[in-house]
Structure 1
Amino acid sequence: MDVARGQVASRARGRPADVLGRVFAASGDGALGVVLRAGGMATAAVVVSALHRVHDPGTLCPLRALTGVPCPLCGGTTVFIELGAAHPVKALLASPVVLLGAIGLATAPLGSGRRWWALDPRRRAWIIGVTLGLSWVWQLARFGFLPL
């Protein structure tokens, strides 16, 4: 029985699922993890930007589509479309929170992820709450609901 398992395992080593498993495992390790995460994000951003040029689906935010009011994370898709089109300033203006969150996610293997989870849960909740509140004010101002 063990021989059969060993043969199946050795045949599975070259399969795409095994390769992806190794890539995902490596994405949590140091500089290689940052490169893999940032590379994946950059690839996705370029693809989404190219698709957006061909077909603009309009408003993707359900809250904004139903009410016209932007949510705190509105502009998240726009961030990646603008980055994929090489417009970093437009990406930053679309949603600073989403852009900074993506940078945080990409650099988490360097230690920021461990520092985040080491924080007291109440402190994390406050940080998230304040950040979302500030983001919502930004989005409301960006869409003309608040005068600047």
Structure 2
Amino acid sequence: MAGAAMGAAWIHRVNDPGVLCPFRAITGIPCPMCGGTTVFIELGSGHVAQAPLANPVAFVGAIGLAVAPLGAGSRWWALQPRTRAWVLGTALVGSELWQLVRLGLLRV
């Protein structure tokens, strides 16, 4: 994951591709996972404090994937399916609200 993040940061620094999300490029509205690529670019660039600001849900998800092989994944799967669905649904709604505020489409 670290190598992929550093590679993405290097590619982005050399040739900024702009908005990668087709949904956002067409509609101008971010999806709940908008900023996910930016999380990895910030981490790969060594800007650890900036990474969660792009998308806290993607940041936590990346950490979860990184530590899952160490045993943390079994705790997630031990939850009831309904509980996992509520956690994921709440995270996606919160992420969408975060993106709308972050990109200035929703004023708080």
TM over 0.5: yes
Aligned residue number for residue 36 of structure 1: none
Distance 1:91 1:53 in 2: 16
Higher RCO (CA 8 Å, separation ≥ 6 residues)? 2
Q: Unmatched 5+ residue regions in structure 1?
A: 1-40
1:110 Cα deviation after fit: 2.2
Give the letter for the 1:127 counterpart: V
Matched, 1:90 2:50: yes
Distance 1:68 1:115 in 2: 37
Using the size of structure 2 for normalisation, the TM-score is: 0.96
Q: Unmatched 5+ residue regions in structure 2?
A: none
Using the size of structure 1 for normalisation, the TM-score is: 0.71
Distance 1:61 1:133 in 2: 18
Distance 2:12 2:70 in 1: 32
1:92 Cα deviation after fit: 1.1
**The structure with more helix, counted as a fraction of residues:** 1
After the TM superposition, which parts of structure 1 deviate over 4 Å for at least 4 consecutive aligned residues?
Answer: none
Give the letter for the 1:116 counterpart: W
Please state whether the residue corresponding to 2:88 is helix, strand or coil: helix
CA-based RMSD = 0.8
Distance 1:86 1:95 in 2: 16
Aligned residues, how many?
108
**1:70-96 Cα deviation digits (max 9, x unpaired):** 000000000111111111121110011
Distance 2:20 2:14 in 1: 16
Aligned residue number for residue 34 of structure 2: 74
Aligned residue number for residue 93 of structure 2: 133
